[in-house]
A and B are shown apart, each in its own frame.
Chain A
Amino acid sequence: MPEVVLQMEGINKTFPGVRALSNMSIDLRRGEVHAVCGENGAGKSTLMKLITGVYQPDSGEIRLNGQPLKVHNPNDAYAKGIAIIFQETSLFPDLTILENIFMGHELRRPLAGIVRFLSFLDYPAMRKKAGEIFGRLGMEIDLDARVSQLSVASRQMVEIAKALSFDSSILILDEPTAALTSREVDTLFETIKKLRTHGVSMLYISHRLDEIFQIADRVTVIRDGEHVQTGDVSRVTRDQLVAWMVGRTLDNLYPKEDIEIGEVVFEARNMRQEGVINGVSLTLRRGEILGISGLAGAGRTELALLLCGLARPDSGEILVDGTRVAIRNYQDAMERGICYISEDRQKYGLVVPMTISENITMPLLARLSGFLGIINSSKEREISATYIDNLAIKTPGADFVVNNLSGGNQQKVSVAKALATEPRILILDEPTRGVDVGAKSEIHRIISSLARAGKSIIMISSDLPEIMGMSDRVMVMKNGARQGELPRSALSQEKILHMAL
């Protein structure tokens, strides 16, 4: 009878407006690699954050080795033997591998004689232990190398070693292969197998089905915060997994209208970025909505950045209205009528402490100002009022600080800001992520009306129903390359997922 080390039962977690986990249950056996699978947004991250103490469950129970478990914070989790390998590393780049592994829990030795109660760091002991750990992982490594000099894969190894230095018996890996080359993935899997023989139990979060079949013992599928199925990997097929991940009915109506689609206005040929994008081409017509689907890490955002000048490709061409154009920076793109609206508003979109009006008119400052750079405030008011109206932004006034708006309204301001430059081609990256249901459909309505007005739209989305409801065509990406394309008439969730996984 396999021993259960970690058990979660009846877990519920709700955030304002969003039900992240609903009656979730999962168990982890000793020495197993248990894959957790689901689309973007299904609840995998939240689950892990509950285990490692970043969040607390609203209800339900977690048991560690049979005893009820309460984890207050990540540090606490470490102390109890649970470690998580993040995607964004929490390492100190200027310090050595050895220092990073033991930071905060260094091994010490007492001083001699009268000052016996004081202790100092015991480097030989730490080196020995680190040596053991890396030995277990089957690696030779220079403990005095600085982390900043390491590749992403090596840094991940350091994170794993760090986790093991806590004598963790439970390891959670969150999309560990996202940034790795295939050779590095093999190394990682070797490591995982070794860990398994040492009795470490692992939760492996991933949507890469090939990997799951390669490395996992059991797999659990989550969908919309609920547990769908758990099964032995040896007795499950790929199709079954996909079906479990999808299994929902399309009951949301999307305000998509049938518009006459015009000529090709935008074309990208053979876009290449070393290690990231592998020769992707696409075309976009007037009035068309091209959906780009794919799993996280497939390169969709990276592609978008290349198309709008925020990143430079190693090779590739961009054509606007049939003429080749050079887009060296975002300004060039703006001048050509291309704009990018990101879901990461803090980074790309809005200056949060400023008002709606100030944000919307920001790209237009040059146009709005006259002598001495004085801003024409009546024109400014006019423009912001127009957009607030058109996009139905809920606010008592244009002089409201963006920080106080809801996520959905903030997103609308972000859209307004992009629209203010009167672009012809819009690249939307997850336009409704983090937005409540009401605002979501409004944003969809806006997108449709933009298409109707003759604008051309590329929409990146992880929300399958959304992408299926809004797009004229869907291009699916995988591993930085174009995997395939589906016209609206042939769309189905299974087909998209099959291509994406």
Chain B
Amino acid sequence: MNGTTTTDSTQSRSVPRIKFTYQAALGLLLIALIVLFGILQPVFFHLNVLFDTTSIVGEIGIMALAMTFIITTGGIDLSVGYILQLSAIVFGAVLKSSGSLALAIVFSLAAGTACGFINGIIISKTKIPPLVTTLATMNLFRGVSFIIAGTSSYAGFPAGFKLISTYLVFNAIPVQFFYFIFLFVFFNLVYSRGSLGRSLKGIGFNEGVLIFSGIRTKRILLLIYTLCGLMCAIAALIYLGRLSAAKTSMGNDLNLQVITAVVLGGTSIMGGVGSMVGTFIGVLIIGVLRKGFTLVNFSGNIFNFTLGLMLIVALIVFAVIEERKKTSGRILK
């Protein structure tokens, strides 16, 4: 139903198959990357190193799942990195002042959800487009996180807390990977076979017709942005567990990673077309890249650079495919 490209005249019946083909190609790319890094640094093939790649996908992945919803509607959320940052700071601040882990978790989740809600309200109730909205709120959330934290950072989290991110299942696989898979299953189900998923795609194509069909699009938009905020907060907790510190510099790079994962996975930036499976693989690719780069001693900045390049190339490629589709003309009369 949401094919990205089609070249033969046995059209739409093959559309699901085409979609599968793109994601399959993406999967092949993943494998190719693993092989490549393995050749460069044979230690890469060790199972625990391999599994370690999934350690960072916890944060990115969970945010990317929610971001897929948003981009499918033709929108975008540039503030995700800073929602995470704000939630993390809130966690640190509350923990420091109250000593209660539970309270810190609750407040942190609430903060993230509130941020998402702010985005959602503005986007669904006013005519300000998601781009401008999140461009502005990104600064807002960043500023608030600074206001709360000052220039300090928080550290010294209780040992038990670290476990939520560092526990190794079967002594090998980071537990975050399971969080990711767990959430992925739900998100994918709703996205590909749920009425929500279909509505999202519809909004991305033509919101007007959906309103006309009785679907409450504004409510849906409010929901997905709020959900995104919540996901960022959850991701923040996982991130904190891994890093054991909350700093005011966390937000910067995350945006790029999340958006690249989604776009790479085949979700169109114009909306309407998308794949949660693609996002899943995209996130894994980013994880592998990150780990691989570290192993071959490439800095974090080369990583960002590569990611930026990948995003641009992916956008260009998809845009070209869209153009070709438009000019290929009708097949059935």
Contact = CB atoms under 8 A, between A and B. Distances in A.
Do these two chains really belong together in a complex?
yes
Interface of A: 310, 330-331, 334, 346-355, 358, 362-363, 365-366, 368-369, 372-375, 377, 395-397, 399-401, 403-406, 417
Nearest to B3: A401
B1 A354 contact: yes
A32 to B, nearest CB: 43
Contact of A351 (B189, B210, B333): B210
A164 to B, nearest CB: 36
A349 B13 contact: no
Contact of A406 (B194, B214, B333): B333
Contacts of B333: 406
Contact of B330 (A348, A355, A372, A404): A404
Interface in B194-214: 194-196, 198-199, 201-202, 205-206, 208-214
21 contacts: A331-B214, A346-B206, A347-B208, A349-B209, A352-B206, A353-B272, A362-B210, A362-B215, A363-B215, A365-B215, A373-B195, A374-B195, A395-B332, A396-B13, A399-B1, A399-B13, A401-B12, A404-B11, A404-B12, A404-B330, A417-B213
B311 to A, nearest CB: 24
Nearest to A365: B195
Contacts of A377: 193
Nearest to B197: A373
B140 interface: no
Interface in B80-133: none
B320 interface: no
B195 A375 contact: yes
B317 interface: no
* Count class of interface residues, chain B: 20 to 34
A358 B198 contact: yes
A350 B206 CA distance: 9
Nearest to A420: B213
A374 B193 CA distance: 6
Interface in B141-199: 186, 189-190, 193-196, 198-199
Given A363-B215, A368-B195, A374-B193, 5 more contacts: A334-B214, A355-B12, A362-B202, A365-B215, A369-B195
Contacts of A368: 195
Contacts of B198: 358, 362, 365, 375
A146 to B, nearest CB: 19
A350 B196 CA distance: 18
Contacts of A353: 205, 272-273
Interface on chain B toward A: helix, strand, loop, or mixed SS?
A: helix
A330 B209 CA distance: 12
Nearest to B207: A351
A143 B11 CA distance: 55
B84 to A, nearest CB: 26
Given A354-B201, A354-B205, A362-B210, A399 B12 contact: yes
A418 B272 CA distance: 22
Contacts of A401: 1, 11-12, 15
B69 to A, nearest CB: 13
A330 B206 contact: no
B201 A366 contact: no
Contacts of B186: 372
B47 interface: no
B127 to A, nearest CB: 15
Contacts of B16: 399
Residue of A331, A350, A352, A354 ringed by the most chain B CB atoms within 10 A: A354
A351 B13 contact: no
A334 B212 CA distance: 10
Nearest to B1: A355
B266 to A, nearest CB: 15
A88 B212 CA distance: 24
A351 B201 CA distance: 10
A374 B272 contact: no
Contacts of A372: 186, 189-190, 194
Given A352-B206, A354-B202, A375-B195, A397 B12 contact: yes
A373 B194 CA distance: 5
A374 B189 contact: yes
B195 A352 contact: no
B209 A350 contact: yes
A330 B202 contact: no
Contacts of B11: 400-401, 404
A374 B190 contact: yes
Nearest to B201: A354
Interface in B9-27: 11-13, 15-16
Contact of A397 (B13, B208, B273, B330): B13
A362 B205 CA distance: 13
A449 B215 CA distance: 29
A375 B199 CA distance: 12
A363 B213 contact: yes
7 closest A-B pairs (Cβ-Cβ)? A365-B195, A373-B194, A369-B195, A362-B213, A404-B332, A400-B12, A363-B213
B191 to A, nearest CB: 10
Contacts of B215: 362-363, 365
Contacts of B199: 365
Contacts of B332: 395, 400, 404-406
